[in-house]
Amino acid sequence: MSATMYKYDDFDHAFVRDRNIEFADQVARRLSGEITEDQFKPLRLMNGLYLQLHAYMLRIAVPYGVLSSRQMRKFAHIARTYDRDFGHFTTRQNLQFNWVKLAEAPKILEELAEVEMHALQTSGNCIRNTTTDQFAGAARDEHSDPRPWAELIRQWSSNHPEFTFLPRKFKIAITGAQKDRAAIRVHDIGLHAKPEGFDVYVGGGMGRTPSLGHCIRTGLPGEKLLSYLEACLRVYNRYGRRDNIYKARIKILVAALGPDEYKRQVEEEWARMDQAKVDAPVAEIDRLKSFFPDPEFKAAAFDRVAYQRAQTADAAFARWIKNNTNPHKRDDHVSVTISLKPVGLPPGDASSAQMDVMADVADAFAYSELRVSHEQNIILPHVHKGDLYALYSQLDAVNLSTANVGKITDMIVCPGLDYCSLANARSIPLAQDISQRFEDAQLSDQIGDLQIKISGCINACGHHHVGHIGILGVDKQGIEFYQILLGGRADEKAALGVITGKGLPAEAVPAAIERVVRLYLDLRTSDSERFIDTLERVGRETFAGALHEPA
């Protein structure tokens, strides 16, 4: 069985092959000393190769987070052969290998090309990997499948001749469901696919100047999507600031012009453009759509009685079902989230053995398909309910059955000072401390949905601005301090969190969060009032006092 996903044709294969030949030549020149590290830097960055604190890091593109079991097995092989036996799934739905040797990078890219993958445009001031809903094509609340559009954008943005030297990196996200699981309002461009066309949001982002995207267009026909994006990008490329790296994202331009004026310029550009030259024809859009049919769903009758009995017999299984499954468009299927957030281990990491098991269970129970979510978990989008217990048992055997999806220990965490040369503070050890404090399953379930997001510096790779509780690491005269933000969310009611109270040393953070959470449990009107609902009802200030030790 092979996953229902886009498959390369000769044109796509040729593109990746040409790019890899070029990069192998660039690496050879660097290794021979023909070019210096300074000269090599912009070239390696175009191929996703970063120099981190201790080693090279290779960031591999997982287009809109969709993976086949075969690709997952290739990751396992690369982790075993070229890295320290693990990989790290990122908030851009990509995969990073943190301990790569420069001389081996071309060989890794060659191996990736065998499974239709590459590391292009995972860094640099270009259009990055488009991200989308991890439950695309499966979710019950979906009205339009975003994947064909994400693929259309992937191809259009690959090696774009005009937009490879933008003022800054550029990130696009698409959702096609009622619930926004793709965080479109905090992207440079956010697209909401609807039956009547696209809503286009521009100028969202996090980093130093967080902002929510503005809707500049509704009902944009899909066959005009590329030319409209091209107009958006052209205005940004021409007028985005280039004098200050921290003011170079499109959100700054949109704020400076005002959304109305930015929109006017885009529409003017769009009207003038030869759109037929930019927009792929309907035949191509139909071709892309043809890669994303439903899998051939298992027809096996669903034995509801056995399913209930298994849950009654095994409370841990019942809890996993409750927390780690998402409603599927078919009653006899669900989408399963495999949590990569076990207590006490770095969020988003998976060992080669775990990757192999995820590939195996995808083949056995999930039509060979997996997804990476921006929450850094792995998803099996289509699983027959009758297979859940067997699936759960196999995952449980390799420590992949953590039942905490959407819960307080399912944190988004950047790599922080342990890996990243930009970080001011550590993130992963703090996340581990917090997850240990809320290790108790009963407590975690009692608290319910609560998103903590941690960034080790102001660049906000851990999305702290949109955590229900956000944590930002700062450096205060050589000491790591953490600021707490409350009230952020990245869903369809997107809002930015606000720094609350004074900064705390690392060791004080878990207790402060526990006090906030205990206060929430006291204040909520019912079990179904989530933390974020209570916070919005009673106001942030109510929680400010709880952050600090009572005097």
Partner 1 sequence: MSQPNSTHTPQLVTRDGAVIPDGWTLLADDDTTGADGPFILSFERALRELDGRNGHYGVRVLPADDVRLLEPFLEKITLIEVAFPGYRDGRGYSTARILREDFGYTGIVRAVGDVLRDQLFYMLRCGFDEFVVKDKDPSQAITSAAQRFQTVYQGAADSNRPAWAKRHTLA
Binding site for partner 1 (CB under 8 A): 9, 11-12, 14-15, 18-19, 22, 25-26, 29, 35, 38-40, 42-43, 125, 155-166, 234, 237-238, 242, 272-274, 277-278, 280-281, 283-284, 287
Distance CA 535, CA 520 (A): 8
- Nearer of residues 257 and 398 to partner 1, judged by Cβ: 257
Instruction: State the virtual CA torsion across 535, 203, 463, 126 in degrees, nearest 10.
Output: 170
The continuous run of DSSP H or E covering 337 comes out as strand 333-338
* Structure-token pair, residue 164: 């490879």
Provide the residue count of the chain.
551
Q: Least distance from C-beta 30 to partner 1, angstroms? A: 9
* Structure-token pair, residue 400: 């992949």
Q: Least distance from C-beta 47 to partner 1, angstroms? A: 12
Q: Least distance from C-beta 49 to partner 1, angstroms? A: 14
- Nearer of residues 11 and 442 to partner 1, judged by Cβ: 11
Distance CA 439, CA 391 (A): 23
Q: Least distance from C-beta 46 to partner 1, angstroms? A: 9
Q: Least distance from C-beta 39 to partner 1, angstroms? A: 5
Q: Least distance from C-beta 56 to partner 1, angstroms? A: 17
* Structure-token pair, residue 155: 């191809």
Contact between 4 and 295 (Cβ < 8 Å) = yes
The strands making up 452-455's β-sheet, listed across from edge to edge, are 412-413, 452-455, 469-476, 479-486, 498-505
Contact between 366 and 357 (Cβ < 8 Å) = no
Q: Least distance from C-beta 310 to partner 1, angstroms? A: 48
Name, in order, each residue with C-beta under 8 angstroms of 326's C-beta and a sequence gap of 6 or more: 135, 138, 139, 334, 335, 336, 337
- Nearer of residues 158 and 542 to partner 1, judged by Cβ: 158
- Nearer of residues 159 and 483 to partner 1, judged by Cβ: 159
Q: Least distance from C-beta 19 to partner 1, angstroms? A: 8
- Nearer of residues 30 and 489 to partner 1, judged by Cβ: 30
Contact between 64 and 151 (Cβ < 8 Å) = yes
Q: Least distance from C-beta 237 to partner 1, angstroms? A: 5
- Nearer of residues 224 and 287 to partner 1, judged by Cβ: 287
Q: How wide is the angle at C-alpha 473 spanned by C-alphas 468 and 477, nearest 5°?
A: 150
Q: Least distance from C-beta 419 to partner 1, angstroms? A: 25
How do 412-413 and 452-455 pair as beta strands?
Answer: parallel
- Nearer of residues 278 and 422 to partner 1, judged by Cβ: 278
- Nearer of residues 26 and 96 to partner 1, judged by Cβ: 26
Alpha-helical (H) ranges within 273-418 are: 275-278, 282-289, 304-313, 315-324, 352-365, 388-396
- Nearer of residues 35 and 511 to partner 1, judged by Cβ: 35
DSSP string, 86-132: EEEE-TTS-EEEEEE-GGGHHHHHHHHHHTT-B-TTSSSSSB---EE
Point out which residues pair with 483 in neighbouring strands: 472
A 10 A CB-CB count for 505 gives: 11
- Nearer of residues 165 and 297 to partner 1, judged by Cβ: 165
Q: Least distance from C-beta 422 to partner 1, angstroms? A: 19
Burial class (CB in 10 A: 0-12, 13-18, 19+), 421: exposed
- Nearer of residues 253 and 484 to partner 1, judged by Cβ: 253
Contact between 280 and 149 (Cβ < 8 Å) = no
- Nearer of residues 110 and 533 to partner 1, judged by Cβ: 110
Write the DSSP symbol of residue 302: P
Q: Which amino acid appears at position 310 of this protein? A: A
Q: Is the dihedral of CA 56, 49, 185, 134 positive or negative?
A: negative
Half-sphere exposure of 176 (CA within 13 A, CB side): 24
- Nearer of residues 237 and 335 to partner 1, judged by Cβ: 237
Measured CA distances, 464 to 15, 96, 243, 250 (Å): 37, 21, 26, 20
- Nearer of residues 158 and 209 to partner 1, judged by Cβ: 158
Q: Least distance from C-beta 337 to partner 1, angstroms? A: 33
DSSP string, 496-537: --EEEEEEEEGGGHHHHHHHHHHHHHHH-SSTTS-HHHHHHH
Write the DSSP symbol of residue 372: E
Q: Least distance from C-beta 448 to partner 1, angstroms? A: 45
Q: Least distance from C-beta 267 to partner 1, angstroms? A: 15
